[in-house]
Amino acid sequence: MQDYLQLSMKLLGSLALLIYGMKATSDALQKMAGPQLRHILSRMTTNRLTGVLTGAFVTCAVQSSSATTVMTVSFVSAGLLTLAQAISVIMGANIGTTLTAWIMSLGYNVDLTNVVFPAFAVGIILIYSKRYRFVGDFLFGLAFLFASLVLLSTMGKEMDLQHNETLMEFFASFNTDSYLSLLLFLAIGTVITCIVQSSAAVMAITILLCSTGVLPIYLGIALVMGENVGTTATANLAALGAGTQARRAALAHLLFNVFGVMWVLCIYYPFVDMVCNLVGFDPQSGGQATKLPIVLAAFHTCFNLTNTAILIGLIPQMERVVCWLMPDREQPQNDGFRLRYIQANVMKTPEISVLQAQKEVIFYAEQTQQMFATVRQMLEEKDSKGIGRSYQQVAEQEDISDRTEVEIARYLEQVSNNHLSDITKTKVRRMMREISELERIGDACYRLARTLVRSSERGQLFTTAQTDRLQQLMQLTDEALTQMNVAMAGHGQEYDIRDIYFIENKINQTCRRLKDDNIRALDEREYSYGVGTMFGDVIGECEKLTGCIVNVVQARVGK
């Protein structure tokens, strides 16, 4: 009894080590190549084939189909990928994840002990190096991964399961020719994968049982098929807090794997026999148990390749099916405040979180310019009721602006708690500066609106000449906001900052001229002191607003 308890603890520990090794390796690779992976996912999806290749490449790179799928769901949520593009990437992710099975089969056929300890030694040295610390994290994760495979392989021999009559009789009680047995093991594989949230762990258990000759290959492959369905739970959980398009992408992942399981079950035995023949294994004799891990890996690859080949031409139809199954839902009416791109409940990597925050900041900047457009409309209004309505709209927009800054800042603080690359840390600092300045622009817009509505309420209206001059000033300010949004939407390094400096100089010169004209007009009693004061207030706010705009652009380009 004590021996079995000890072996069970070793098995659980080995699986935990395997899951940790996979996660550490995936996280390190994403930190090393996070921005590049983002660009690959967002740009190399021009058609179905490139989408599939992109998904396969990224999954092979980060060693996690769940990470790729969650990235894809996040990209759909952020509006960077269409649903059709996301489906093709998910298909590729299913192909890329087969590499994991091949690595595991390698661990059962090759002695990895000689690789583990050098990887630990080199990894610990690099971890303390600022420049190569992520390479060290990767080697450490890889060492843990290989160490777990060595432990599982050793345990398979120690447990001597093939001579355990009770266990052999238990698995022998299942009829491998019965679809009932296949469906049972398929369900077991699905449930276990959903619970442990790791298809690698289920694959490791399956390889362990099959390589010792305890589990017949037909039932083992049923477990692998269940793992394919169960692994979709990660993406669907990730999409729970996201928008409709993101949840559709996750549903497409589930439908893709469920469809694959259905057609394989229709030709199950011929298909499995074909894979066994490719490897050179006879499923009837049950000999050559060392080839069973390779059979499982080969089946996993053949299954996903064939499934993708069948469905790649049916992506538009899949898109229509998921849209039919998950129609657009009406958004609940609230107070008007809702972040567009940041989804707090969506599981994602820090790199993807930063990307979504960037998209949200860009949208924030666009909303700020719309707020200023409402202020300009107030200046053109002749009716006091129209001015009042516009003022109320600006007041609501200013409240949303304040809340947006707080929510983005809070989100960036949460992201900063993760281990980020130096480049990503710099991006977070710049965004914190950008949202602070954007909030100040919103405050300036509100003060402008308040001045204009006060002028209307007191009957101290601007003269025609004053209105014309202010409209010219606001036109220049709006051009500055447009330049700010051009800088925000593009790559900061590619923006010529001299463009915003040129407009700033024009605005400053205009403000100085208007201030001088205002002083002269007051001296000559062209209008009342109250009108002149409000005229000066509007000029001053436009000047301050321009300074904030320049600060946003400087933050964006890294000045």
pLDDT at 373 over 90: yes
| Per-residue DSSP letter, 461 | P
**b/e per residue, 265-304, with b = 16+ CB within 10 A?**
eeebeebbbebbeebebebeeeeebebbbbbbbbbbbbbb
- Tokens (6 digits) for 363: 């949208």
Of 80 and 547, which is predicted with more confidence?
A: 547
More confident residue, 21 or 66: 21
Provide the 8-state DSSP code for 495.
S
Q: What is the pLDDT of residue 335?
A: 47
> Which band of pLDDT confidence, cut at 50, 70 and 90, is reported for residue 332?
very low
Q: Looking at the predicted structure, is the pLDDT value of residue 44 above 70?
A: no
* Nearest C-alpha neighbor of 556 from the set 502, 485, 499: 485
Number of H helices, E strands in the chain: 22, 0
Domain 350-557 is found in CATH 3.30.1360.70:
no
What per-residue confidence (pLDDT) applies to 167? 62
Among 158-162, 395-399, 408-412, the minimum mean pLDDT is found in: 158-162
Q: Which of 184, 163, 166 lies closest to 175, judged by CA?
A: 184
The more confident residue out of 405 and 79 is 405
Summarize pLDDT for 391-400 with one digit per residue, the tens. 999 999 999 9
Q: State pTM to two decimals.
A: 0.64
In the predicted model, is pLDDT for residue 45 greater than 60? no
Pairwise CA distance, residues 50 & 357, whole Å: 27
Q: Which residue has the tokens 């497409």?
A: 252
Q: What is the mean pLDDT of residues 446-471?
A: 89
Q: For residue 347, what pLDDT band results from cuts at 50, 70 and 90? A: very low
> Who wins on pLDDT, 422 or 529?
529
Using the structure block, give the residue that is written with the tokens 């790199």: 351
- The residue extents of the domains of the chain are 2-325, 350-557
Indicate the SS3 state at residue 63: coil
Q: Is the pLDDT of residue 505 over 60?
A: yes
The predicted-structure confidence for 460-500, as pLDDT tens digits, reads as follows 788 889 999 999 999 999 999 999 999 988 765 677 888 99
Residue 63 has pLDDT above 60, yes or no: no
Chain mean pLDDT for the chain? 80
User: Contact, 415 vs 350, CB < 8 A?
Assistant: yes
Asked if pLDDT for residue 334 goes beyond 50, the answer is no
Place of tokens 């049916």: 314
